[in-house]
């Protein structure tokens, strides 16, 4: 009888084993590398963060599937890391993880040989493992590609393969992409292969690249394939160059960004030049120029947008979502997620302008001492509340500004209002409580 029970017990767990999803190792990274050596298997790592929605979807809906577990458990030592905690921070940095979820495929010696990114359905996720195993068998290490490049730099087919190799390993390929485009006649610079590279390499494209000029020059060829996303790619290149300008304090590059931005259609979510100047001087620490450009940006742009215009824009976006896009997402998102997305779209423009006003107003509160500029900031803050009433963070900004201007009793009343709203919404109110105590004691609420 005991023997029969043992057989049943073993069979039960055998069946359970075949029906489970991915089994992730629980040890340290060093232990995972050791297990990979012992089992002669490569490593699959799911790199996630606690706030990443697509990461949660993969963990909930895809990783537990039996068909997924069967493939990944058989072929890899599987591991998960939070890119913002513990060993995950260093691993994500080492393998240049830039978005989440990212899937890394690594040899037992720690060498990365393949990667993929994003939430996807089970069939595609299984296909990712097939591609990774094929990459594992690639006999040419990256060093061989680098040597071969010296001889084949004018061979478009080689450059295309080299570009895809670098992208797969998470290495920048923007320079090679420019070289590849330069070898092609203009009519071939908007092919499906080119579009695919743009989609994968967008984070490395700058405005001073042939890749960017190609988007500008062949705009009419890209629109049928990419629609409005062609402008997303161009804005991404502007953002890349803007960050570089701030990092190197390069005002010449900043001006190039401004000039390129001015050529984009205003409906493409391009920025105003005053906004670019303001953010540049904010990041580079030139307070006087920041104040000057922020004042122009707020008074000439943000303060001129009417409530009616904001409401109409949000209604138009919501109507478009409800009539054309919602049905596409049914089944991909649950009812709660759909409701959250609908609410976000219904107030996106309101949030954009009110948050922009509040952000600049708060910066002035923290950094500015002149009465005239503080008065300006208080008007921007007040306007943010007119656009988005009962926002406790915006009320807190307004309260602090008028307190700094000497309007103590009014400030105490507004800070109390912010505190009460935060408590009602079960938000963290400790900062408001501390500010209120300082106001009542007549102490500074700024550094």
| Mean pLDDT of each 10-residue bin along the chain, 447 residues long | 45 48 94 95 96 92 94 96 94 91 94 89 92 83 84 94 86 92 93 91 92 93 86 92 96 95 76 92 96 95 92 89 76 76 88 95 96 97 96 97 97 97 94 97 94
Q: Considering 80, 110, 136, which residue would you say is the last residue of a domain?
A: 136
Residue 34 lies in a domain: yes
Q: Are strands 112-117 and 77-82 parallel, antiparallel or unpaired?
A: unpaired
Q: Considering 227, 242, 271, which residue would you say is the last residue of a domain?
A: 271
Written as one string, the DSSP assignment of 247-293 is HHT-HHHHHHHHHHHHTS-GGGTPPPHHHHHHHHHHHHT-HHHHHHH
Q: Are strands 102-106 and 43-48 parallel, antiparallel or unpaired?
A: antiparallel
What is the reported pLDDT for 261?
A: 92
Residue 382 lies in a domain: no
Residue 175 lies in a domain: yes
Residue 379 lies in a domain: no
- In terms of domains, do 67 and 11 share one? yes
- In terms of domains, do 119 and 159 share one? no
Name every residue whose Cβ is closer than 8 Å to that of residue 72 and which is 6 or more positions away in sequence.
22, 44, 78, 129
User: What CATH number does the domain containing 57 carry?
Assistant: 3.40.30.10
Distance CA 231, CA 268 (A): 6
Residue 321 lies in a domain: no
- In terms of domains, do 176 and 232 share one? yes
Domain, as residue range, for 148: 142-271
- In terms of domains, do 172 and 245 share one? yes
By C-alpha distance, which of 71, 82, 75, 77 is closest to 34?
77
Residue 314 lies in a domain: no
Q: Considering 110, 136, 162, which residue would you say is the last residue of a domain?
A: 136
Residue 226 lies in a domain: yes
Q: What are all long-range contacts of 398-402, with beta carbons under 8 Å and residues at least 24 apart?
A: 398/361, 399/435, 399/439, 400/362, 400/365, 400/435, 400/445, 400/446, 401/361, 401/364, 401/365, 401/374, 401/377, 402/378
Residue 21 lies in a domain: yes
- In terms of domains, do 123 and 167 share one? no
- In terms of domains, do 192 and 147 share one? yes
- In terms of domains, do 81 and 175 share one? no
* Cβ neighbours around 281 below 10 Å, total: 21
What is the reported pLDDT for 3?
A: 47
């Amino acid at each position: 009888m005991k023997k029969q029970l043992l057989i049943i017990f073993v069979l039960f767990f055998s069946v359970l084993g075949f029906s489970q999803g991915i089994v992730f190792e629980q040890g340290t990274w060093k232990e995972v590398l050791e297990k990979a050596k012992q089992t002669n298997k490569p490593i699959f790592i799911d790199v996630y963060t606690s706030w990443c929605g697509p990461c949660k979807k993969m963990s909930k809906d895809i990783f537990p599937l039996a068909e997924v577990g069967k493939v990944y458990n058989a072929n890899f030592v599987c591991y998960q890391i939070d890119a913002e905690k513990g060993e995950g921070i260093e691993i994500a940095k080492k393998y240049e993880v830039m978005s989440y979820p990212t899937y890394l495929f690594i040899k037992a010696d720690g060498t990365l040989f393949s990667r993929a990114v994003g939430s996807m359905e089970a069939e595609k996720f299984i296909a990712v493992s097939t591609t990774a195993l094929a990459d594992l068998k690639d006999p040419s290490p990256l060093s061989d590609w680098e040597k071969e490049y010296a001889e084949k730099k004018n061979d478009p087919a080689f450059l295309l393969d080299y570009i895809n190799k670098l992208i797969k390993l998470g290495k920048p390929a923007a320079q090679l992409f420019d070289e590849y485009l330069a070898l092609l006649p203009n009519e071939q610079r908007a092919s499906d292969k080119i579009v695919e590279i743009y989609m994968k390499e967008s984070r490395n494209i700058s405005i001073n690249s042939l890749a960017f000029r190609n988007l500008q020059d062949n705009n009419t060829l890209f629109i049928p394939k990419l629609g409005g996303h062609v402008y997303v790619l161009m804005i991404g290149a502007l953002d890349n160059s803007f960050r570089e300008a701030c990092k190197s304090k390069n005002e010449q590059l900043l001006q190039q960004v401004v000039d390129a931005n001015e050529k984009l259609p205003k409906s493409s979510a391009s920025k105003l030049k005053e906004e670019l100047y303001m953010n540049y001087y904010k990041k580079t620490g030139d307070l006087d120029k920041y104040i000057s450009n922020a004042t122009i940006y707020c008074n000439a742009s943000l303060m001129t947008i009417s409530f009616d215009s904001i409401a109409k824009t949000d209604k138009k976006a919501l109507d478009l979502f409800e009539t054309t896009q919602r049905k596409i997402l049914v089944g991909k998102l649950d009812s709660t997620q759909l409701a959250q997305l609908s609410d976000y779209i219904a107030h996106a423009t309101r949030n954009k302008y009110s948050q922009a006003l509040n952000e600049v107003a708060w910066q002035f509160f923290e950094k500015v001492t002149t009465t005239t500029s503080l008065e300006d900031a208080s008007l921007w803050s007040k306007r943010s509340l007119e656009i988005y009433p009962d926002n406790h963070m915006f009320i807190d900004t307004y309260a602090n500004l008028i307190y700094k201007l000497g309007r103590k009793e009014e400030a105490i009343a507004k800070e109390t209002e912010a505190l009460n709203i935060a408590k009602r919404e079960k938000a963290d109110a400790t900062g408001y409580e501390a500010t209120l105590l300082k106001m009542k004691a007549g102490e500074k609420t700024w550094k």
